[in-house]
Structure 1
Amino acid sequence: MSQRVWRRDAELPPADLDAIRDGVILHGRQQTQGSDARDIACGLYEDGQLIAGAWGRTEFQRLYLSYIWVQPEHRGQGLGGQLLRQIEAQALKRGCVDALIETLLDEAADCFEHLGYACVAYLHDYVPGFTRHTLLKVWQPRD
């Protein structure tokens, strides 16, 4: 007879946490048709050092941008917008018709709106003092 044991928090090894996440993602993708998920990334280097980068995935003809980052001493120079244009160009080459970004920073949401994104949803006080903004940029309307 097998023995069942509950484990919580730090009792679960990192590999098991990965298995939970991967299992949910796999189950969700099995419910849909045409999943073609691929990582997408872009980095800017200066003297061999990463100073800015963006990372996400493309799937279902959509760019999902997870992270966009610029080293603090390089901010305010337009690098975030340049990163966004670089990764959008890659997504367009992959056949994406739109892009989705989420942020908790009002300033970032304003910047994304300035770059052609529209706020399609927001959740005030998602984290105390922060609003979760969901922004979408449409290059080609979906059927």
Structure 2
Amino acid sequence: MKEKFIIQPCQKQNITAIIKGINTYNVNKVPALAPAWTPLEFVIKDENGKEIGGVLSGIGCWNGLEIRILWVAEAYRGMGIGTQLLNHIETIAASKGAEIAMLDTFDFQAEGFYLKNGYTVIGEIKGFPKGHRRIYLSKLLRP
């Protein structure tokens, strides 16, 4: 007899179970070198306390710095703020044992910025979104 399965929207407890499930599977295949996730999340503000940029990133269980979002307000781009944020998290990550940084961006976002900061393109998806490219980059970190 064939079992019936039901697909439903996730609740918070479901998300926790999914994350725990994949993390358990992963560390059974490759032992963890660090806690499952160490957040490195920072905001940068102007002299009036206005948020003008920030970074959402963290170190995963195999000592990789994963940069999920790095943003600088348009009026402040080209002033070195993005590089300052990037250097800040790379330095902290390396001091905590991270050996590599990784991220993805789009051709209309920050490909040139990351190349200028020592990242190497390791892959891309052409035509996503239509007429553009999604680019995957990495960089070896030196403590």
Structures share a fold, TM > 0.5? yes
Distance 2:135 2:88 in 1: 22
User: Aligned pair in 2 of structure 1 residues 97, 5: CA closer, same or farther (>3 Å)?
Assistant: closer
Aligned in 2, Cα 1:77/1:132: closer, same or farther, shift over 3 Å? same
Alignment-derived partner of residue 73 in structure 2: 71
Identical-pair percentage: 21
**Aligned-partner Cα distance in 1 for 2:135–2:14:** 27
1:49, CA displacement in angstroms?
1.9
Asked if the contact 1:125/1:131 (under 8 Å) is kept, the reply is yes
Q: Structure 1 residue 29 and structure 2 residue 23: aligned?
A: yes
Number of positions where the alignment pairs a residue of Structure 1 with one of Structure 2:
130
What residue number does 1:102 align with? 104
Residue 28 of structure 1 aligns to which amino acid in structure 2?
I
Structure 1: gaps spanning 5 or more residues: none
Aligned alpha-carbon RMSD (Å): 2.1
CA contact (8 A) 2:90 2:141 kept: no
1:39 is matched with: 39
Q: 1:20 to 1:129 in 2, by over 3 A?
A: farther
**C-alpha contact (below 8 Å) 1:42/1:53 kept by paired residues:** yes
Measure how far apart 1:111 and its partner are: 1.4
Q: Secondary structure at the match of 1:126?
A: coil
